[in-house]
Structure 1
Amino acid sequence: MKSVFKSLLILGITLLSTTVFAQNKMQSLDELINKTDPAWPLVQKWIDSAKNKVEVLEADSANAKNALFNTQVSTYSTLGAVIYNSGGIMIDNGWLRILGSGSTRLNRSVPEWNKGKTIEEYGDKPDYFLVADDAAGGFFAINYGAFGKDLKNVYYLAPNSLNWEPLGLGYSEFIRFCLDGDLNEFYKGLRWSTWNKFIANLDGNKSYSFSPYLWTKEGTDIEKCRRKLVSTAELFKFNLSKQKELKTAGVAPAQ
């Protein structure tokens, strides 16, 4: 009887191990690098004809391969192409930062930035995935179920509402919007009159924090708010904490 029980126990452990391995099995780099129809040439065309000011940060080959593997997306996709072919993309002198494989000016790769926030380990399936952010403390993420049924659409965690707001755009459309869209209109109320004088040399790991907070009644006029540069990582953590706090208290932001 003990022998039968032991055999069943070993079989159960083996099946469990096989299931876990299957869930976490990651595609190889060769499988992720699409050599026949990569998306980057199309993205490059979009960049070349962009209406907004664009700077593609140079990618380090080793970092690009590592970031692509850890993200587990193909270069056939726009996201994979941006990760593999850029250290990141800066829009409007770095006001808006689209994450890639990391660079000196934007020292955050897509997988590194998400680890500990939306995933615990590389290869995990996230409920949402952070892909860009801005100097005003806003964050962009692809929805994988956390925000609604519109899977793979991009949402914006707005600093003046602390809500994840749907943009109605997939990632490719989001990139096109960043390149060609009316960003002054999109950021109406989030850009102070002299914002462009402060952005050119902005560290891509820093964002502005405002006082009073932009989601309060006192913070509705950004021209009257004080601002200071803080760690983008700390600001994201703070915003999520405040978002939870406000929801728990049943308090609606002023915006």
Structure 2
Amino acid sequence: MPLSPNPAWPELERQMTASHARAAIIPVRETSQTFEVTGLSERSALGALAKHTGGVLLADGWIRLFGGVGAPTTGPGLPSLDEANERGAGLYIVGIDVLGGVYAIDGGAFERADGQLHYWAPDTLDWTDLEAGLHTFISAMLDGHDHEFYEGLRWEGWEAEVATLALDEGIHVYPLLCTRESKPLEQASRRAVPMAELVAFNVDLATQIDGQAPRPCPHYRPAPPTP
């Protein structure tokens, strides 16, 4: 689908600040170098996030999208798009969820390089092509479709638990989400852990099950400590 000739940010900002959106925009301190170096267009959702935000929290904080360098906070922040990614990986990590699920845009790692959004799920330990671009995905989450997208991966009262997390933390569930024993989730053990450890644990688990690391391999690089 061709890009709109207009900047994406005004429409995204309008959607994110709507009363029903359940979203929060982290102020930006420094535009992502990705925007400056690659010539990323402001007509794209990724370009809009890179230039105008220090990250975005969707679905009451369950989903965290990366942007430019966020304004200083009293606690750990989100990594910028630059900090979260490795050049030449063919897999552009654009966000994470509190269970360690990873969102990435295909830059060649899936042999299509079509810019579609893919999701590495913590329960299947595998990639799913969402068959949509980033802007479409954001719009769907802002319209409340996160409830059906995460059906079976939430528990009663999850909002309160997510609200207590730092931006560099996720929720580890035991029994593991890839097992039937984890259900119902209300009875599972849940605790806050560093997000980098959670993603690495999920990748290691997938490697043990399949005998080799996932291809492409999801990763999470946290933001450096605030000076």
Query: Is TM more than 0.5 here?
Result: yes
Larger displacement relative to structure 2 (236-245 or 101-110): 101-110
User: Partners of 2:61 and 2:68 in 1: how far apart?
Assistant: 16
| Number of the residue aligned with 1:93 | 60
1:2-81 equivalences under 5 Å are: 37-49=6-18, 51-60=20-29, 63-66=30-33, 68-69=35-36, 73-81=40-48
| Number of the residue aligned with 2:216 | none
User: Partners of 2:23 and 2:38 in 1: how far apart?
Assistant: 24
Contact 2:91–2:106, Cα closer than 8 Å, also in 1: yes
Task: Read off the aligned partner of 1:170 and give its amino acid letter.
Answer: G
Structure 1 segments unaligned to the other structure (5+ residues): 1-35, 250-255
Structure 2 segments unaligned to the other structure (5+ residues): 213-227
Task: Return the match for 1:112 from 62, 83, 103.
Answer: 83
RMSD: 2.3
Q: Structure 1, residues 75-124: CA drift from partner, whole Å, max 9, x if none?
A: 2321011111011111133111111124336331111011xxxx2xxxx3
Matched, 1:147 2:116: no
Give the TM-score of the pair, scaled to structure 1.
Answer: 0.72
Identity %: 31
Matched, 1:214 2:177: yes
| Number of the residue aligned with 2:141 | 178
Distance 1:43 1:158, change over 3 A: same
Q: How many residues align?
A: 204
Contact 1:88–1:106, Cα closer than 8 Å, also in 2: no
Considering only CA atoms, is the larger Rg found in Structure 1 or Structure 2? 1
Distance 1:166 1:65, change over 3 A: closer
Contact 2:93–2:105, Cα closer than 8 Å, also in 1: yes
Contact 1:56–1:87, Cα closer than 8 Å, also in 2: yes
Task: Read off the aligned partner of 1:88 and give its amino acid letter.
Answer: G
User: Partners of 1:38 and 1:247 in 2: how far apart?
Assistant: 43
Distance 1:50 1:134, change over 3 A: farther
User: Partners of 2:122 and 2:32 in 1: how far apart?
Assistant: 33
Give the TM-score of the pair, scaled to structure 2.
Answer: 0.80
Contact 2:32–2:69, Cα closer than 8 Å, also in 1: no
Distance 1:222 1:153, change over 3 A: same
User: Partners of 1:50 and 1:152 in 2: how far apart?
Assistant: 30
